[in-house]
Amino acid sequence: MSMFLRTRWVVVMVVFAMSAAACGGGASTTSTGLDSPSNPADSVDSSLVSSDGLLTVILPSGVDAVSVIEAGAIEELDGLGQSVRAYDLGPDGSTFDEPVQLRFEVTADEIAGGVLVVARSTDGAIEPLVATIDLSSEPAVVVAEIDHFTVVELRTGVYRDITVKAPARIVVGGTVPVDLQIGLTSDQVASNYPSPDSFSVKEGANGEWSASGSVTGSGPGSFVCSSVGTGSVSYSGLIIVDYQLVIEEGYRRIIEASADPGRVFSHPSEWIVQGPVRDATANVECVEAATEVQIDDQTCVNFTTGEYTNECVLTEGVTVSGGDFAAFTVSVDGPIGDGAEDSVKVFFVATNSDGEMVAFECGLGQGCIGWFGAGFASLEADLPVQYSASDQVWSFSNLPIRTEGSDLILDVPPGVLADGSATIPGGPAALIEVTIFVENGDFLSTTRLSIDGLYDGLSP
């Protein structure tokens, strides 16, 4: 049976509005006991302020001999955000029946990536501290409590921000499913940080959802595309982020054999982190219902023999929907694998205003490959098509196809020939062919769609 290492972060955020406060940091110095006249730290009403002025320690009654020394970051947490500041509270190992309150001053930028307060426990392990953000003070402070003296640290940059996840387009009358997801920085992604899909983000008790434009409703389950056009869904307020890392036995052995396995296995099982929800809005395009497109003809060729055959996966149906961008849904009559040779592709051929041919082949994993002119010169142009595949249904969205007068138009982006010999300005081109290719290395099935059927499906 595989063993699992489960790491779970619970994150609590709150939307706020505040200006960033400039907080400087001094060199590592010591603030000794309250009863020492030589103590450089300020103390008022059983409180002690660190020499850099950024941590206030509220002491229980009767505690009078303490020290606050600026310390280095907790090494085991390298890679989990960044250390903001750390302090060694002493005498080390002192314990209290009534907890000591820690008040870390923070800026808006420090809060923006989520703030985390951690400490060494009495047995030397890493211990997360329950913390809250107090926005009523200026500057804001992160408040935590601890019942013993040890090294404490404030960290930030655990994530980038929280956003609303919703489909790019929904048919008018359809429900708009929404979710909250965590964002990561490019550096986090490059360093194999857990992907956004690894985090489960839930709304908090005081969270508020709203909708605008073509989307109406008051919360998840009630949002609906009520009219053709663009709408948006937004969220603000408290959220809870739950992350769970599962390491299988094989990978566990690799970590244990690594130079520093403690950096993985020393992480505590629960994290309490706070931060704001920023830009938590998703735009949704509400479109007319998809229309089934007529298939003009289909063929299938066996790659080995070069002969036509009926023994291959064929396109069973194609639907198209319009809006600011078009979308195709291609249904096939058998499963398509996930190998390098298994694919469903859409091929477009159009002529521009100069009578030059422009063609693109778009597919999952390859993007859009372009050609230009009668000689089919390779064309490098950014066609913004998006793809998804589920079972026997393949979807192509964000297609720059529209109707204009009696023509079906492909809006060609500017590009350059691959050999650098010419620049192609782009612009509208009249579509003359749209073909679906399905292949798996053994066969190629070709389905040519009706241009008139596409035109009817995209007409307002």
CA distance linking residue 379 with residue 382, whole number of Å:
10
**Residue 412 pLDDT:** 94
**Residue 87 pLDDT:** 95
**Residue 160 pLDDT:** 66
**Residue 5 pLDDT:** 25
Mean pLDDT computed over 293-317: 88
CATH topology of domain 291-458: Immunoglobulin-like (2.60.40)
**Residue 210 pLDDT:** 93
**Phi/psi of residue 153, nearest 5 degrees:** -145, 145
State the span(s) of the chain assigned CATH 2.60.40: 291-458
**Residue 300 pLDDT:** 92
Lowest mean pLDDT among 39-48, 89-98, 108-117, 391-400: 39-48
**Residue 97 pLDDT:** 86
What Cα–Cα distance (Å) separates residue 291 from each residue in 2, 241, 390?
Answer: 49, 40, 20
Kindly write down the DSSP assignment for every residue of 138-167, as one continuous string.
Answer: SS-EEEEEEEE-SEEEEEE-S-S-EEEE--
**Residue 294 pLDDT:** 92
Q: Strand 131-134 and strand 141-148: pairing? A: antiparallel
Mean pLDDT computed over 119-128: 76
Assess whether pLDDT exceeds 90 at residue 113. no
Q: Tokens in use for 278?
A: 């920023």
* 432 alpha-carbon distance from chain centroid: 38
Lowest mean pLDDT among 188-202, 351-365, 366-380, 385-399: 188-202
Closest CA to 14 of 270, 240, 211: 240
Assess whether pLDDT exceeds 50 at residue 382. yes
Between residues 45 and 445, the one the model is more confident about: 445
- Model confidence pLDDT, tens digit, residues 80-92: 678 899 999 988 8
CA distance linking residue 394 with residue 284, whole number of Å:
20
Q: In sequence order, which residues have a C-beta less than 8 Å from that of residue 271 and are 6 or more positions away?
A: 8, 9, 10, 11, 116, 128, 158, 243
CB–CB of 112/192 below 8 Å? Answer: no
CATH (residue range 5-156): 2.60.220
- Model confidence pLDDT, tens digit, residues 408-431: 999 999 999 988 888 998 999 999
Mean pLDDT computed over 54-59: 93
State the span(s) of the chain assigned CATH 2.60.220: 5-156
